[in-house]
Structure 1
Amino acid sequence: MGRYSDKNAVITGGASGMGFAMAKLLVEGGARVVITGRSQATLDAARERLGNNAVAVRGDVASLSDLDVLADRVKSELGAIDALFVNAGIATLTPFESVTEEVYDELFAINVKGAFFTVQRLAALLSTGAGVVLTTSVANVMGMPETSVYAAGKAALRSMARSLSRELLSRGIRVNAVSPGPIDTGILDAMMTEEAAAQFKAERVADNPMRRFGTPDEVARAAVFLAFDATYTTGSEFAVDGGATQL
């Protein structure tokens, strides 16, 4: 019997990075997990690595029809949900002067609208005592360059953790946020040139009290703690950032 052998969880953006680390931690503990993502190939690869306790559902959280499909699939596969990890999101580094309407709309559609309606569409399936964890970012409090739209969206999620906590408290459901700092997920290498990524990483390491990047596993452990073990905590934001926002 694993620690989470009687638990069911849903993780949006669960096919890679921090979301996959959450799924892996839970599956290894015996939980049944539904993961989502937009890339079928990435989902298939994640599902193969996770094994039979994982179900992969392709969909875009910015699409309400996709979220309805997800809710139906989760109901048929899991029934009630013990933990919902609202992790799907995109990070686009864009100088203020270069932000277009398309960039702005995409960031808010996925990171904010998608998060809100993920919780709304799956709320009916959350069991009493369930935990919801939103993935925010240290960018929502640090004023980092080239992140104005991204950071505003993550700040909206921080606010959402508080307001949804009140909305769902009568059902015994807790809503919290995990706030990652610099985490080595590989996304920087995909977003930037090799030289730019190396420079950005060096700057973040130099500024970080722990002088290193965090790992997806470190974020996963914090998120799972909030979902299952922090039973007297709701509306909070847990920084996993090497002390960047605290010291």
Structure 2
Amino acid sequence: MGKLQGKVAVITGGTTGIGFAAAKLFVEEGAYVFVTGRRQKELGEAVEAIGPNATGVQGDVSKLADLDRLYETVEAEGRRIDVVFANAGLGEFAALGSITEEHFDKLFSINVKGALFTVQKALPLLNDGASIILTGSVGSAKGTPAFWVYGATKAAIRNFVRAWTIELRDRRIRSNVLSPGPTETPLVDRQPPEAIARIVSTIPMGRMGSPAEIAKAALFLASDDSSFVTGIELFVDGGRAQI
């Protein structure tokens, strides 16, 4: 029997990278997953690859109406939720002196506002004893030139789970942050090669992580294997944040 047998999971940003890898793994471990993505074509392709135990709901986590539609879909299918993996996020480089209001608002709207309302709007459908996972980043703990607005968004959600651990304890709902180091995803592929090379050079293990490696950590936090784990930030980063 799989570690998530009979469970229902919602995974935002589930069409590529970490979210897609987690959705595939969760289904392999017995879960039914609802995945979101902003682009319908990519979402359809992802759901087809994940298999029959998946439903795709197109939407942008920074738009509350799209989140309402996500949970209306879950409810319409007669489901309740055991795992919320608020994974959707965006990273962009911009140095001090060149920060624009658009850059700031975009990152905080998706990474912070999106994570908050993904969880808050799930609460009425969330089973007691459920698991909440937020995708953080090693960037929340390391000062990276031109990448610190992104890092600040991830530092913000770290505080979310500290408070939620207390606020949701009567329902036995666990809240944790999963913080990858540099990972081989389309988001990284869009960054300047010299910036990525500089970051990789700081990883003690000497390489980037894979989405599959991060997904295994997400499975741990989603499953009963982590039944006594809440309020933490789990770094899966090749040691980058630890030295």
Aligned to 1:128: 128
Report how far residue 168 of structure 1 moved: 1.2
Q: Deviations over 1:51-79 (max 9, x none)?
A: 11010000111111111111111122252
Equivalent residues of 2:16, 2:186 under 8 A apart: no
Aligned to 2:87: 87
- Does 1:212 find its partner at 2:231? no
Aligned to 1:8: 8
Aligned to 2:22: 22
CA distance in 1, matches of 2:200, 2:150: 21
Equivalent residues of 1:32, 1:78 under 8 A apart: no
Count how many residue pairs are aligned between Structure 1 and Structure 2: 242
Equivalent residues of 1:184, 1:216 under 8 A apart: yes
Equivalent residues of 1:67, 1:121 under 8 A apart: yes
Aligned to 1:223: 218
Equivalent residues of 2:90, 2:187 under 8 A apart: no
Q: Deviations over 1:92-137 (max 9, x none)?
A: 1111211111111111111101110110000111111110000000
Aligned to 1:51: 51
Report how far residue 244 of structure 1 moved: 0.8
CA distance in 1, matches of 2:205, 2:214: 15
Equivalent residues of 1:8, 1:78 under 8 A apart: no
Aligned to 1:118: 118
The 1:182/1:7 distance shift into structure 2, 3 A limit, reads same
Match 1:236 to one of 229, 232, 235: 232
Q: Deviations over 1:132-155 (max 9, x none)?
A: 000000111101111121111110
Structure 2 residue identity aligned to 1:124? P
Aligned to 1:201: 196
TM-score between the two structures when normalised by the length of structure 2: 0.96
Describe the SS at the equivalent of 2:15: coil
How large is the RMSD of aligned CA atoms in angstroms? 1.2
TM-score between the two structures when normalised by the length of structure 1: 0.94
